[in-house]
Structure 1
Amino acid sequence: MSTDNAMKISADHLRRDAFLYVRQSSLRQVFENTESTKRQYALRDRAVALGWPIERVHVIDNDLGLSGAQSQDRDGFQRLVSEVAMGHAGIVLGLEVSRLARNNADWHRLLELAAMSRTLIMDEDGVYDAASFNDRMLLGLKGTMSEAELHILKSRLQGGILNKARRGELELPLPIGFVYTPDTRVVLDPDRQIQDTVRMLFDTFREAGSACAVVRRLRSEKILYPRAHSARSRQG
C-alpha cells in the first residue's frame, strides 16, 4: 500500500464497510470477457490490503450484464448509492469509472454523496477522497472521459451500420419464414414445414380475427411454431 493511499484512510473509514461494485455492460461480455470480471472481483484483496476485514467487504454484482449509461434499472448501483448516502460505506471500489457509471449525472451524484459522507473511492489507479478538491477534480475528469468514450463507441458502431446499409450489405434479422441466401438475397425458408406453419398462422388469423384462436389451433393440432436462430447463412 502506497504512503499516499495510507494517509487518506482513517480509523473512521475502517470502522465502516467496503463496497465493491462489479458490472459488465452486456451478458455477452459476462460470458466472453471473463478477465475483466475476474479483475473486478480481485479488488476485494486490495480492500483487505488497505485494512478492511474480508467479511466487511461487500460485493455488489447484481448489475452484471447491464449498461452503465443510465442508473434507473441498475438495482446494484442504487443500493451502492444508498449505502454511501447513509454513511455505511468507508470506501467504494470499482475497477474503473466506467464500471460505476457511464454518464456524468450518476457519477457526480455519487461523488457528491461520497464527499458529504466522507466516503473514499478507489479504482485500479489508487484511492481518492471525494471531499478533496484535487481528487474530486481528477474523478470528475475520469467521469467525463468515460461518458465521452461511450459516445465515441456508439458513434463508431452506428457509423459502421450506416456504411453497410449504404452499400446494401446490411443484414438485419428476418421474420420467421424468410432467410438469406449466400448472396444475401431474401427468400422463403426452403423448409416446407416452416412455410406451411407460417401460412397456416396467417390463414387462421384471417378466418378468426383473433391471436388467441391461432394459439388454440396450434395447441389443438400439436403444431410447434418455428423459432428464430442465428446461423448466419439462415438468419431468420
Structure 2
Amino acid sequence: MPTVTIIQPTISEEQNHKLRCAAYCRVSSNSEDQINSFMAQTRYYEKAFEKSDREQLVDIYADEGITGTREDKRDEFKRMISDCRKGKIDRIYTKSISRFARNTKDCLKNIRELKSLGITVLFEKENIETADMTDEMMITIMGGLAQEESTSISQNLRWSCRKRMANGTYELSCPPYGYKKINGKLVICPEQAKVVKEIYDSYLSGIGMISIMKNLNERNIPCCKNSERWHMIGVSYILTNEKYTGNTLLQKTYSTNTLPVRRFKNNGNADQYYVRNTHPAIIQQETFDKVQRLISEKNQKQPRGTPHNSALHKHIFCGSCGSILIRKSCREKYYWSCRKHDLAAVDCPTKQISEDKIHSAFIRLYNKLVYNFKPVLTPLQQALQDLKYKNTKSGTTIIEKYKEIAKLKEQTHVLARLKTKGFLDEAKYLGQTTELNSKIAKIQTEIKKLNVSDEEDETLEQLDMLIGYFEKRQKLMVEFEGSAFESIVDKIVVKNQNELEFHLIGGLELTEKICS
C-alpha cells in the first residue's frame, strides 16, 4: 500500500490573497448634520481596513444628498455595481439596509445579482451577510421596513406642505421670472418686471407668443438663469402665471403615495389653495384676466385636432439637428416645423412640411406593406430567431459564464501560489496566466452578447406584433388613420424636404418620398 505524506503549505492563502472590499455610504440630504454623518461614515471605513490582514479596501463609493428610493439617481451606487460586474470587488460593506436601498425591489434585485457574481454584502447595523442564503428573508423584511420608512417620511413632508398651503404660510422655493427672493419673501426685480409687462402689453395688442419670443431673442433680452434663449413655453408660462397678480395658486401638481414617487399635473386629483396678496404684483388683475380670455378665445378658434391630439405629436424628428418637430396652424391647415429652425433659420436648414404630405407618405408606405409585408418582414424575423437560437442553443446562462470566470480566476491564484513557492518558473507562469486571461476576456465578450438577448427578444416580439397586425389588415388605406400610425410607427425622421424615414416597431427603417 502506498505511503502518503502531507506537505503543509508554507504560505497561507490569507497571506497571499486578501479579500477586496468596498464600502458604500449614503446620506439623503445636503444639510450640515447629514454631511457630517457622511464624512463620519467615510472616515470609519478608511480606518476599519488599515490594519486588517485578511481584507483590503479597494474603494469607497459615496452618494451625497441623494435619495435612496431611486437607484437611477445614485451615480456612485451604479459605479459600484459596474465595478462588481468587472470583477474588482469581493465584498461590500454598508452601514444598514436603508443606506443600501429604501426600495425593496431594487434591494433584492441588486443583492441577487451580486450573489450570482460571488460577491457578498454585509449590513453592519442588522448584522446580516448575504453569503447566508437564509438571510434573504430577513433582507426582504428589512428592505420593506426601509421602504415603508421612506414612504412614511415622504407622506409626512407632503402633509406638512399641505398644512402650510392651507394656512397661507407656504413659501415658494423658486421665484418666477420677474422676482427675486430676499429673506424668504418675493421681491420685484425691476429689469425683469419691465419685460413681463412688455410681454402682456404685446399680447394684448395682437402679437402672438412666437412673435414675442423672436422679438426678445433678436434684442438679446436676458432670459431666466436656466436658459440662454427665450422659448414659446416661457412666454406662455408668464402669460398664464397668476403669481404676477400678487396671488398664488398652490399644489398645481401632486405626487403619488407609492414608490417610486412620480409627479403629475393636478387636474382636480387633489386640493388646490388660492392665496391672495402673498407678494407685490407686477400685473393688474384686470390685465391678467383679459389675457386669459384672449388665450381662451384663440384656443377655441383653432381647428379641431390640436398638437396634443395629433397621432404625429412627439413622433417627428429633424434629421439635421435632432430636434422634435412642432405642429403649427396657418389658414386652417397644419404644418410641422423644426423647433430649432423656428427659433433661428440659420441654425437648421429643415423647413416646415405640410401635415397632409406626411399623411400621404404614411398611406403609401402602409399600402406597400399590406401587399409586401411577408417578403419584407419574414426574413428579418427569421434572421433574429436564428441569432437568438445561436446565442441560447448551448443552454449557457450569464450566471454560468460568471462561474466559468470565477474558476479561471481561481486557477490564476493557484498559479501565483505555485510561483511564490518556487514550483513554477517565470516563463511558464506568464504563459499560463496569459492563456487564462485570454479565456476570461473571451467569456466576458460572450457575456456582452448574451446581455443583448433581452433586446433581441423585445425586437422579435415587436416584429411578431407587426406581422400579426398586417395579417389581420388586408384592406388598403384611403385616408390617414391615427390608430394605424400609432400601432406600427415608432418615429419619423425628416431626412430632407423630399424624404421621410419611418422607423417601425421592431427596428425596421423604411424611406418614403414626399410628393409635391
Q: Tell whether the structures are fold-level matches, with TM greater than 0.5.
A: yes
Amino acid paired to 1:132: D
- Aligned residue for 1:44, secondary structure, equals helix
Shift of 1:149: 0.9
Query: Unpaired runs of 5+ in structure 1?
Result: 1-9
Answer yes or no: is the 8 Å Cα contact 1:102–1:150 preserved in 2.
yes
Matches within 5 A, 1:133-212: 133-173=133-173, 174-177=175-178, 189=188, 192-203=190-201, 206=207, 209-212=211-214
Answer yes or no: is the 8 Å Cα contact 1:92–1:122 preserved in 2.
yes
Shift of 1:32: 5.1
Amino acid paired to 1:215: N
Deviations 1:97-118 (A, max 9, x none): 2222120111101221233334
Amino acid paired to 1:145: L
Shift of 1:156: 0.3
Answer yes or no: is the 8 Å Cα contact 2:20–2:89 preserved in 1.
yes
Shift of 1:153: 0.4
Deviations 1:144-186 (A, max 9, x none): 221111000001011111222233333335423358999x9x9
- Aligned residue for 2:64, secondary structure, equals coil
| Among 15, 18, 21, the residue aligned to 1:18 | 21
Amino acid paired to 2:22: F
The 1-side partners of 2:194 and 2:142 are apart by: 57
Paired position in structure 2 for 1:40: 41
- Aligned residue for 1:89, secondary structure, equals coil
Q: 1:128 to 1:85 in 2, by over 3 A?
A: farther
Shift of 1:134: 4.0
- Aligned residue for 2:67, secondary structure, equals coil
Amino acid paired to 1:58: D
Q: 1:209 to 1:177 in 2, by over 3 A?
A: same
The 1-side partners of 2:28 and 2:115 are apart by: 27
Paired position in structure 1 for 2:397: none
Greater gyration radius = 2
The 2-side partners of 1:35 and 1:187 are apart by: 32
- Aligned residue for 1:132, secondary structure, equals coil
Shift of 1:203: 4.8
Shift of 1:90: 1.8
Answer yes or no: is the 8 Å Cα contact 1:120–1:127 preserved in 2.
no
Answer yes or no: is the 8 Å Cα contact 2:102–2:146 preserved in 1.
yes
The 2-side partners of 1:49 and 1:141 are apart by: 34
Q: 1:49 to 1:187 in 2, by over 3 A?
A: closer
Answer yes or no: is the 8 Å Cα contact 1:17–1:89 preserved in 2.
yes
Paired position in structure 1 for 2:217: 215
Answer yes or no: is the 8 Å Cα contact 2:71–2:106 preserved in 1.
yes
Amino acid paired to 1:22: C
Answer yes or no: is the 8 Å Cα contact 2:97–2:123 preserved in 1.
yes
- Number of corresponding residues: 210
Answer yes or no: is the 8 Å Cα contact 2:67–2:73 preserved in 1.
no
- Aligned residue for 2:95, secondary structure, equals coil
Q: Which of 1 and 2 has higher RCO (CA within 8 Å, sep 6+)?
A: 1
Amino acid paired to 2:211: G
Amino acid paired to 1:52: E
Paired position in structure 2 for 1:94: 94
The 2-side partners of 1:49 and 1:124 are apart by: 19
The 1-side partners of 2:73 and 2:197 are apart by: 39
The 1-side partners of 2:84 and 2:279 are apart by: 50
Paired position in structure 1 for 2:121: 121
Paired position in structure 1 for 2:76: 76
Matches within 5 A, 1:216-231: 216-219=218-221
- Aligned residue for 1:33, secondary structure, equals helix
Q: 1:79 to 1:194 in 2, by over 3 A?
A: closer
- Give the TM-score taking structure 1 as reference length: 0.69
Q: 1:116 to 1:16 in 2, by over 3 A?
A: same
Answer yes or no: is the 8 Å Cα contact 1:84–1:113 preserved in 2.
no
The 1-side partners of 2:61 and 2:186 are apart by: 48
Amino acid paired to 1:70: R
1:65 aligns with 2:68: no
Q: 1:78 to 1:35 in 2, by over 3 A?
A: same
Answer yes or no: is the 8 Å Cα contact 2:38–2:64 preserved in 1.
no
Q: 1:60 to 1:178 in 2, by over 3 A?
A: closer
Higher relative strand content: 2
